[in-house]
Amino acid sequence: MEGSAVATSGYSPGVRNIFELAAYADRYLLTFENAGYYMDPVWDTIRMNNITQHFATAFLANTFGMTRRWIPT
């Protein structure tokens, strides 16, 4: 998970390149377009947290074969 406008670690080159070079495992990268860190002018922190929770829940449910009844509403 990374913002595409992060200057500290960099996105590309940086996190995106590490993701693309990773091998021998399923991998997923959640990218927040034009997002940086902390007080981001493009993305609302609450919205970013909600999106992250959604994708984390879906990933874990898929990984561990959970059915719909296990996913909180």
Taking the C-alpha atoms of residue 15 and residue 69, their distance in angstroms, rounded to an integer, is 34
Q: Rounded mean pLDDT of 27-32?
A: 88
Mean pLDDT of the residues in the chain: 82
Q: Lowest mean pLDDT: which of 19-33, 38-52, 57-71?
A: 57-71
pLDDT of residue 69: 62
Decide if pLDDT at 70 tops 60.
Answer: no
What gap in Å lies between CA 46 and CA 29, rounded to an integer? 20
